[in-house]
Amino acid sequence: MALSKISGNQISTSTEAIITTLSFLNTNSVFRLPAGTTAQRPTGVSVGTMRFNTSEDAAEIYKADDGTGSAGWASVSGGGPSLGDKSIVRTNATTISENLTVGPTAGPEFANGMSAGPITIASGFTVTVESGGAWSVR
């Protein structure tokens, strides 16, 4: 590993380092993630890599299983979109424009799902509910 070049409070942009502890001097400090659009997602990254997706307006992490059974980018979220001071009303979109699988082969956390309806599945896309899985639309 190359030596880190530090000047004042700046670390050279070409520096690669392993940080075991990150402390901030005060409560006004921030940690800024690298940012870019969905099209600018880096490839060949390690599981655990994080960035801010400006297309989605959300932080995302590269996971070993992104919900499709393969490695990929997934949103870092707190339970999805919601309304109210304490997220009392959960919301969801009304149109599905991607292929989805609900069931145990996608992982135990994807065995069951629910949506508030009505829900439209856009032309050319499918929602597959596997044996052992359940999807409720209320």
Length of the chain: 138
d(CA 45, CA 34): 13
Domain ranges of the chain: 83-138
Query: 29 with 67: CB under 8 angstroms?
Result: no
State pLDDT tens for residues 108-137.
Answer: 878 888 999 899 999 999 999 999 999 999
Q: How confident is the model at residue 78 (pLDDT cuts 50, 70, 90)?
A: low
Q: Residue 27: what pLDDT?
A: 78
- Which pTM was predicted? 0.49
Query: 51 with 59: CB under 8 angstroms?
Result: yes
* Average of per-residue pLDDT across 53-81: 84
Q: Residue 13: what pLDDT?
A: 59
Query: 87 with 79: CB under 8 angstroms?
Result: yes
Please name every residue paired with 102 in a beta bridge, in sequence order, or none if there are none: 129
Whether the pLDDT of residue 52 is over 90: the answer is: yes
d(CA 120, CA 101): 16
Q: Residue 1: what pLDDT?
A: 47
d(CA 69, CA 103): 11
What percentage of residues in the chain have a pLDDT greater than 70? Answer: 83
